[in-house]
Structure 1
Amino acid sequence: MSFFLVAALAVFLVALSKSGLVASLGVVGVPLLTLVMPARDAAGMMLPLLIAMDVIALIAYRREVDWKVFWILLPGAMVGTLIAFSLSAVVSEAMVRLAIGMIALAFVLDAWLPLRKKLEGLPPSRPWGTFWGSVAGFTSFVSHTGGPPVQIYMLPMRLPPALFAGTNAVFFAVVNASKIPFYFVLGQLSLANMQAALYLMPVAIIGMALGVFLVRRIDAGLFYRVAYILIFLLSLKLIYDGITGLFFA
């Protein structure tokens, strides 16, 4: 029972993230699942659920995509995915969580203080986007935590919430689909993981439907204020998890 309670909470939060309502929530999915199952199995079980959520998001936001941003991010993401697969036996999740947490924390502090010149309003940069796309592909492969790197690149653009959500939806739909053969080779798409994903599918659908309903009704200013606060809190959680995983596991 405790497994399904924790798993249902994790899937619901990820579904809200995938809907575009609170995009930073997606990083808690696999870390939360690791409380009740091995990390590799958690990532494997989550993948079919993510793909189902991607289908819903694509239907909801198919006409609201910044294709320029998408094509800037995608090539780097594919490279990051291949690197993560090649290093899957070497790089630990603790290392990835610590790196993501530190990057996300620096990003939020820069936006709030600011520590340097603000980036808001600048046009999308291809080298900058390729870099963050590759980071997103790598971290998404390891633990489905590709959201913060993409947000670091996209949030300063101040896109309307629906356009932000739609661009994320298409980008991660392609990234998640590209993981399927690699996860299969690594044994993460086991029968047990697929059965657990099937049981949790209704939770994913409800979370997505609720998020899609709300994202079109939320004020853009409130949307970005909430996003930055959540990224800040989650960055602290990721840093804590990374340090404890590296030194106290």
Structure 2
Amino acid sequence: MELLSSLHISPLEWIIIMVCGMLIGMSKVGVPGVSMIVVPALAFIFGAKQSTGVLLPILMMADLFGVAYYRRHANWNHLIKVIPWAVVGLVIALWVGKMVNDEQFKNLIAILVFLSIALMLWQDKRKGTNLFPDKWWFAATMGILGGFATMIGNVAGPVFAIYLLAMHLPKNSFIGTSAWFFMIINFTKFPLQLFVWNNITLHTLTIDLFTIPAIALGAFVGFKAVKIIPDHIYRGFVIVITAISAFLLLL
């Protein structure tokens, strides 16, 4: 109890943090979009930039749950195409991190996500006509945008969902590929935020450790939820949740 009180966080703020941990756990095992509310919630408690230092280790711990369960379902061909470009996005974001306007950036991401959804749905109606997924520039664009978005505000979920949805991956492959992507990217971000942005401290890491039970509970609930959703419905479910997530970025 003395340790908890020394962190100077109110009971209500602890409840919000634990709910955020649970939502992140759910999102990492295949319930996309439910964690989008986490970004503004933690920013309200800790401030915009400091909140990213609190959130990143929580995401990393949740990534381990997702990879542990879906590790055999990743499509490495798609990962190899996009990860190098995502690293480029991280480097760009690292450089402009202290200058970028967070609100304008989030609005741009939301607009691009909506545009990507529209293009993807249009492609689906053409039945078999592959407009862009096999093009190198599509992986490059999604990778750079995703890397930039995750470094600036941990909002790359909708962007990478668009990339995977365009590949028409089955449900488990979609989740497994996404799990590996974000684990690799988030573990890459950790030293950058620790040593360059200096927003990860012993204080923030102590807070993160207390979220482990909430993350585990969220992962358990997420596993159950994914099993209930049939494969043929999952794609539409992801599109709807992704669109809602993009809309939240505009708020």
User: In which range does the TM-score fall when normalised by the shorter chain?
Assistant: 0.7 to 0.9
Q: Cα deviation per residue 1:115-138 (whole Å; 9 max; x = unaligned)?
A: 996587745432201210111111
Amino acid of the residue matched to residue 50 of structure 2? D
Indicate the RMSD between aligned Cα atoms, in angstroms.
Answer: 2.1
2:47 paired with 1:30: no
Amino acid of the residue matched to residue 161 of structure 2? Q
CA, structure 1 residues 103+132, in 2 after alignment: closer, same or farther (shift >3 Å)? same
- Does the CA contact (< 8 Å) of 1:119 and 1:156 recur in 2? no
Instruction: Give the alignment partner of residue 231 of structure 1, picking from 225, 229, 242.
Output: 242
Q: How does 1:92-131 map to 2 (within 5 A)?
A: 92-111=101-120, 114=122, 118=126, 122=130, 124-131=134-141
1:210 aligned residue: 221
Q: Cα deviation per residue 1:205-247 (whole Å; 9 max; x = unaligned)?
A: 111122134324420222222212222222222123xxxxxxx
My pick for the range that moved more, 221-230 or 209-218, is 209-218
Q: How does 1:62-81 map to 2 (within 5 A)?
A: 62-81=71-90
Q: How does 1:8-19 map to 2 (within 5 A)?
A: 8-19=18-29
Using the size of structure 2 for normalisation, the TM-score is: 0.87
2:171 paired with 1:161: yes
- Does the CA contact (< 8 Å) of 2:193 and 2:199 recur in 1? yes
CA, structure 1 residues 124+210, in 2 after alignment: closer, same or farther (shift >3 Å)? farther
- Does the CA contact (< 8 Å) of 1:49 and 1:197 recur in 2? yes
The DSSP-based 3-state class of the residue aligned with 1:27 is: coil
2:83 paired with 1:59: no
2:158 aligned residue: 148
CA, structure 1 residues 203+118, in 2 after alignment: closer, same or farther (shift >3 Å)? farther
1:136 aligned residue: 146
2:178 paired with 1:173: no
Q: Aligned-pair distance for 1:44? A: 0.7
Unaligned runs of 5+ in 1: 241-249
Measure, in 1, the Cα distance between the counterparts of 2:161 and 2:106. Answer: 16
Measure, in 2, the Cα distance between the counterparts of 1:120 and 1:163. Answer: 20
Q: Cα deviation per residue 1:116-171 (whole Å; 9 max; x = unaligned)?
A: 96587745432201210111111101111111111121112221111000000111
Using the size of structure 1 for normalisation, the TM-score is: 0.88
Amino acid of the residue matched to residue 160 of structure 1? P
Q: Aligned-pair distance for 1:93? A: 1.8
- Does the CA contact (< 8 Å) of 2:81 and 2:139 recur in 1? yes
2:231 aligned residue: 220
Identity between Structure 1 and Structure 2 (%): 24
Instruction: Give the alignment partner of residue 199 of structure 1, picking from 210, 214, 219.
Output: 210
